[in-house]
Structure formats: C-alpha cells, structure tokens
DNA sequence: TTTATTAACGGAAACGTTTGAGAAACACTG
DNA sequence: CAGTGTTTCTCAAACGTTTCCGTTAATAAA
C-alpha cells in the first residue's frame, strides 16, 4: 500500500506537508496542495485507517449493539431494517459499522463496553429488546457517544418510534369500524410494550371502550407459536372479542392460524390487527391492517444524530426524537 | 486506557517483556509471566487493536460483502441467517466483522477492494446474488484471503449449498406423489439458478417427466409480486400443470396468492413447492413443502474456512465445500 | 578454569499517521 | 531599516504495539 512517505518522496516535500494537504489544513499553498492531491490520486493512495486511528483516537467505526432474547439477531426484521438504513447513512459520512457484544477473546472475558474500547469505536447505537442488562448500563454510563433506539435514558439521545400514538391510531380505526369488544395481546415487558399499552388504554378511554382483564394477555414479541397459544386461549372464553390486537405482524401469523384452526375466519368472524408493517403482512390474505414503523427514518436519524454527537460534541444536545409511522389499512378488520 | 507501558512501570520490567509475556512468547520466565498477566488483568488491560494492527498487519476483522440487486441487504433472510452464523463463529475465534462495499469517502470513490485495503481486513466472505460485477472480480483477484458462498471461482474456497441435489430431492418427492405435469419458475440467471435448474432437469429425465417449455418461466428470486404475475400467466395456459415449483419460499407467497385469486386452492387444485425453508413458509396453511438450506452450517463453515485460510496459509487448501440441506415436507403437494 | 550454551530480559526501531513548534522567506508598517 | 506579520513549509515527537538483536548472568560442557 502506498503511504504518505511515498507521495512525499515523489513530490519532494515532507510527509507533514502531504498529510496537511490531504487533510485540508490551511498552511499549505494552493499550488502544492493541488499537486499533492493529484499524485495521491494517481498513486492510488488511501490513508491507513489503523495508523490514523492510533494518532487521532478516531476510527470512523460505529458500534452496533443488537440483542434480542430470542437470539434472532439480524433475522429480526425490525432490527435488520433499522440496521440497514443506519449503515447506509453512516457510510455516507465515511463511517463503517462493527457489531459489538460481550465475548471471550483469548480466554479473557470482555464486556460489550470493553469490546467498544478495544475496537475504539467512535460511537454506539443500542437497539435491544431488553435494556435492563448490566452490559447496557455499562455502555450507557461510559464515555462514548451513544444513541438508543426505542428506549429513553437520561442524558442520552434516543430515537423512538411513536408507539403510543401509533397504537392510538390503530385503536381509533378499529373503533371507527364499530368494534367495542377488543382483546389485546401485548409483547414482553419492555419500554415499547408499555408505550403501546398506554396508547391502547388512552384511546380506549377516549372512545369509551371497556377493557376487560380476561382479554388482556401478555406474550412474546415475534413469536408466532406463543401468539398461537394465547389466541387459542382467548377463543376459549365464553364471550369472544370481535377484534384482537396482536403483539406484532410476525406474531400475528400465529394468531391468525389459531383463528383459522378454530374454524373461524378473518375478518368475517373475528378481526385482527398487527403492528410493524413488515412485508409479509401485506402478502397475507386478507392483508393485515397494521401500523408501519418508519424503520428507514429511524435508522438514518440514529446514524445522523450519533455522528453529530461525535463530530460536534459541544453543539449537539441529547434529545428524544420521535419518528412517526404510518397507518396501513389492510382487510383484516371487519366494518360492523 | 491502560497500555503496555503502564503495566511495565508498575512491574518494573520493560515494555517488550510485557508484550512477550502477554502474547505467550517463550523467552520470559514463568514467574514474571504469571505476575504480568495477573497485573494486566487487575489493571483492566486490553491491547489497542489499532496499534497492534499497525505493527502486525492483522486486524482480526473480516470483511463481509453482501449484495443483492434488490438492495434488500440484511433484510434478505438467507443472507441474514448466513451472516448471523458467520458472525457467531468468527467471534468465537476473536474476529469481528465489517461490511464492505464500494462507496464515496471524502469525495474520492472507493471500490470494495480498496475499502478492504483501507480497513485492512484479514479476510473476505462474498455472498452476492450477482458474482459478475467488477467489484467482485477485483476482490477475487486481490491478495486477501476470500471465501465465496454459493459461487465457485478457480483457486478460491467456496461454500455452496447443495442446490442441485436439493432440487432433485424435491422433484423426486413431487414425482413420488404422482405428479407428471410440472411447471418451474426459476430465479434470475445466476450460478444458484443454474444449479437448481440442472437438478430439476436431471431428476425429470430420471423419472421420465416431460418438461414443457411453456411451463418453464424465468423470474426473480425473493420477489412475490413477480412470481404472482408469472403464476397468473401460467394459469392462463390451456392445460394446467398439477404442481408449480416456485423460485423460493418468499416468492412462493406471491405464487400462492395468484393461485388463490384464480379461485383455485392449494393443494387440492394445484400443488406448489418452494425452496429455502424460511420460517414463514411453515406458518402458511398449508405449510409449504420445501427444501431447507442449512444456513447455520453454511455461515459457520465459511467463517472457519476463512480463518483457517488466514491463520494457516500454507496448510489450508482452497476447496469447494458442499453443505447439504434438508427436505421439508409440508402440505402443499397433493398425493395423486 | 575456560568456553559454549541457554534463559531471561531490555533497547530501539518500526508500522503510518497527525500536529504543535519552529524556520525561512517575504511583505508590510511606521 | 528595525520590527512585526504572514505564508509555506519542515522537524520531530507521539500514538501503542511487535520484534529483531544485543546483553547479562547463569548453567552446562570440556
């Protein structure tokens, strides 16, 4: 690989001058800068990322902390989509991304935060299903810039999906369709689950809809089997709800199967809604009525905020940014 | 961060000795090694990855080149699953992964290979839908260890799914069920598509099944809309096939919808099979009969091979490793 | 006792950058 | 013309490692 030194000997200047010219410093004449930049290009020069990082403590690497209890990781569609847009936006600014996690390296255990230090990432984005682990706390309390997704910590920037208003929107639609007997299967205890439940309650109050405790179940996100079981249980009640809120689109598939297996049909006998707006949901028939999370914006915003935090530490304030999703009308809710 | 120097002053030895002790060199006494290792642990020492890389030209970073024409990236389930197991296996050996691609950084365009050089990755895994791009060739012809997934280059290790025998297995099952009139929608031109088609032809020959040209269509992988259209077209034929081979499970959803929209039912009126064995396929009703690709093994094998190539360049030979999948019987094929 | 060998450790250069402190040259001010 | 600035460039140290080579002391061989 061609180094600064190679360019400097070719052009008869010092290494320092080449470095400054390429980095746009002021104390180098326009003529020599132009000459140096040109030969650098001709010789196919690229800065050595390691050497640069060693000097500047800036790696142009962003750490990505993705963790879900099921261990689906990248297979989790929400994560995958957010990561995809995060990555795209980060690369636009010259950053690459590195997955960080706790791991054993050379017999020595390394926490996630230690992993970050080891790799010297410039910033970290956290998107976990569980934000209460020691690993998360260690990162949050560390001195590396952090943005979190769908969870709010004090003094840290957070990008959150509008889970509360999204769920309100969904319920209002269902109520508009004339439904009054509504069941709700929520995902596992988490900030997201609480926000959605809050939106559900709030909207029910507003619309004068009674929320029956026996129709309020706690299950898992992204777990069709679990939702299948819970839906089955729900359908054993004396009085059936006319509409079921599924934890999310993917889990909903299990719920829909349970309804079908019970000899009922969607939406004629019973209606259902999901959450997320994943691609699959629109391939079902009927299409699932759901609320799409704006994953492209969430990921891109997270990247922009994180990079701003890194590059302008003094002028960037930690804040909570809410990203609105979009209601998606399918055919899974019957108009009564 | 605590450095080798910090440890050396604390213990009253030279930096060189600390380095050697921690790296398990022979010329340091057992007593001092033990002492140094202990205090290193106490002081929370971790090697500085940049400095080490600068000296050794080893970053313990593996480059991942994922590219599909649709730009789905991580959202592509096959890629996501392979990457997941690749990552897990790599981390076990102390490697992290970096996504590599061609990009513009600081006004200067960087090819994928240049990106690799810039980041000094130790090895590269390529999993693309299109292996004929200049970017791929540049990487293949470069001097960094490479393994490819589902595509074979001369003198490069490849991990390939058993697309040919997998498809044979699938056709044999369908033939066993009594089907003789079979349609086949293949994915876009690629090594994978060719292998599968070869398996299909071969098995048809063996079973004495006639392959009619009007039942042989070329479409896209992972594109339900496209498969919907093609299936619709297929169903307009005078004589209908009794079974349709869809490009893959995900695309199959579109195909199944087309069948349903034509007023036909699966498998009573027409049978269908997919390929891949994605989770979603088993949530359909009827469950899709398909052939599961062993993504965990593919990813893990790729990682192990790549690391072996890096760490034992002399004893590791480039080879083609075939990973077998598994036939998955659903209910989408009618027994005639 | 002398010599050769080995074990344990230190010195110092090197990897490719960045950057503050200075130096040389020149132009301006009063 | 002395002093002051400005522009443009070089020097050299530093970042944290690794590794070759040299040194010392101790031990084994002769």
Tokens representing A9 are 């000997």
Q: Where are the alpha helices (DSSP H) in A28-151?
A: 30-42, 49-56, 77-92, 112-119, 134-140
Q: Which DSSP category does A185 fall into?
A: E
Predicted pLDDT at A107 = 63
β-pairing, B243-245 with B290-292?
Answer: unpaired
What CA–CA distance (Å, rounded) separates B281 from A158? 35
Q: Is B110 helix (H, G, I), strand (E, B) or coil?
A: strand
Report the distance separating Cα A179 and Cα A172, nearest Å: 10
Share of chain A above pLDDT 70, in %: 98
* Nearest in space to B251 (alpha carbons), one of B232, B271, B275: B275
What value does the mean pLDDT of chain A take?
93
Which residues lie below 8 Å from residue A244, measured CB to CB, with a gap of 6+? A182, A183, A184, A185, A231, A234, A255, A259, A270, A271, A272, A273
CB neighbour burial string for B214-253, b if at least 16 within 10 angstroms, e if fewer: ebbbebbbbbbebbbbbbbebbeeeebbbbbbbbbbbbbb
- What's the token pair of residue A189? 């205890």
To the nearest whole angstrom, how far is the Cα of A181 from the nearest Cα of chain B? 27
Count, residues in chain A: 336
Within 105-134 of A, beta carbons closer than 8 Å to B belong to 105-106, 108, 110, 114, 117-120
Residue B33 tokens, joined: 């090694």
Q: Is B84 on the interface with A (CB under 8 A)?
A: yes
Lowest-confidence region among A71-80, A305-314, B61-70, B205-214: A71-80
Q: Name the residue in chain B with its Cα closest to that of A250.
A: B280
B-chain residues near A77 (CB < 8 A): 75
Pick from A41, A98, A224: CB nearest B98: A98
What's the pLDDT score for residue B3? 94
Helices (H), chain B: 4-11, 15-22, 30-42, 49-56, 77-92, 112-119, 134-140, 163-176, 191-207, 224-234, 249-261, 295-311
Provide the pLDDT for residue A27.
87
Contact present, A101 and A112 (Cβ < 8 Å): yes
Q: Using the beta-carbon criterion (under 8 Å), do B80 and A80 form an inter-chain contact?
A: yes
Quick one: B198 exposed, middle or buried, by C-beta within 10 A (0-12, 13-18, 19+)?
middle
DSSP B74: G
CA of B84 to C1' of D17 (A): 32
Residue B83's alpha-carbon distances to A175, B102, B249, B256, in angstroms, are: 43, 19, 19, 29
How do residues A109-154 score in pLDDT, each as one tens digit?
889 999 999 999 999 999 988 899 999 999 999 999 999 999 999 9
Token readout for B330 is 């659903």
Nearest one of B98, B302, B173, B37 to A99, comparing CA atoms? B98
Place of tokens 């990755």: B121
Rounded percentage of chain A residues whose pLDDT exceeds 90? 82
Enter the DSSP assignment of B215: G
Phi/psi at A308 (nearest 5 deg)? -65, -40
Please report the domains of chain B, with CATH numbers, ordered by start residue. 4-47 (1.10.260.40), 61-161+296-326 (3.40.50.2300), 163-292 (3.40.50.2300)
* Orientation angle between helical segments A249-261 and A224-234, nearest 10 degrees: 40
Please tell me if residue B153 touches chain A, with a CB cutoff of 8 Å.
Answer: no
Check if the beta carbon of residue B171 is closer than 8 Å to that of residue B200. yes
Q: Does residue A319 belong to the interface with chain B, where contact is any CB pair within 8 Å?
A: no
| pLDDT of the residue at A110 | 87
Q: What is the pLDDT along chain B (336 residues), one digit of tens a residue?
A: 899 999 999 999 999 999 999 998 988 999 999 999 999 999 989 899 999 999 999 999 999 998 877 667 778 889 999 999 999 999 999 999 999 988 876 567 889 999 999 999 999 999 988 899 999 999 999 999 999 999 999 999 999 999 999 999 999 999 999 999 999 999 988 889 999 999 999 999 999 999 999 999 999 999 999 999 999 999 999 899 999 999 999 999 999 999 999 999 999 999 999 999 998 899 988 999 999 999 999 999 999 999 999 998 877 788 999 999 999 999 999 998
Helix (H) or strand (E) holding A18: helix A15-22
A102 to chain B, any CB pair closer than 8 A? The answer is: no
| Mean of pLDDT values over A46-63 | 94
Q: Round to whole Å and give the CA distance between B251 and A262.
A: 28
d(CA A181, CA A243): 7
Interface test with B, best of A55, A75, A231 (most B CBs within 10 A): A75
Write the burial class of residue A177 (CB in 10 Å: 0-12 exposed, 13-18 middle, 19+ buried). Answer: middle
Average pLDDT over residues A317-334: 95
Burial call A84-120: b when 16+ CB within 10 Å, e when fewer: bbbbbbbbebebbbbbbbbbebeeeebbbbbbbbbbb
């Amino acid at each position: 690989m061609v180094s600064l030194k190679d360019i400097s000997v070719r052009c008869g200047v010092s290494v320092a001058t080449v470095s400054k010219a390429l980095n746009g410093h002021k104390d180098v004449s326009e003529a020599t800068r132009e000459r140096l930049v040109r030969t650098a290009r001709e010789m196919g020069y690229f800065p050595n990322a390691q050497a640069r990082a060693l000097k500047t403590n800036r790696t142009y690497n962003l750490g990505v902390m993705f963790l879900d209890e099921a261990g689906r990781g990248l297979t989790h569609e929400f994560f995958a989509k957010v990561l995809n847009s995060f990555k795209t936006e980060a690369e636009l600014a010259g950053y690459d991304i590195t997955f960080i996690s706790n791991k054993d390296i050379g017999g020595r255990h390394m926490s996630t935060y230690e992993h970050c230090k080891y790799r010297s990432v410039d910033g970290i984005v956290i998107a976990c299903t569980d934000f209460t682990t020691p690993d998360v706390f260690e990162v949050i309390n560390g001195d590396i810039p952090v943005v979190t997704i769908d969870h709010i910590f004090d003094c840290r920037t957070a990008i959150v999906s509008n889970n509360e208003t999204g769920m309100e929107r969904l319920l209002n639609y269902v109520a508009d369709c004339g439904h009054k007997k509504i069941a709700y299967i929520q995902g596992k205890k988490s900030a997201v689950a609480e926000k959605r439940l809050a939106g559900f309650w709030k909207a029910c109050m507003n619309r004068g809809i009674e929320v029956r405790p026996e129709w309020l179940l706690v299950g898992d996100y992204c777990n069709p089997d679990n939702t299948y079981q819970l839906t089955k249980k729900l359908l054993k009640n004396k009085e059936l709800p006319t509409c079921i809120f599924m934890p999310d689109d993917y889990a909903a598939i299990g719920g829909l199967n349970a309804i079908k297996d019970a000899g009922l049909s969607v939406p004629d006998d019973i209606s259902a809604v999901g959450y997320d707006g994943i691609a699959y949901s629109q391939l079902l028939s009927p299409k699932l009525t759901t609320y799409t999370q704006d994953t492209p914006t969430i990921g891109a915003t997270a990247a922009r905020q994180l990079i701003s935090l890194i590059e302008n530490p003094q002028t960037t304030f930690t804040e909570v940014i809410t990203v609105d999703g979009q209601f998606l009308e399918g055919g899974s809710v019957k108009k009564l």
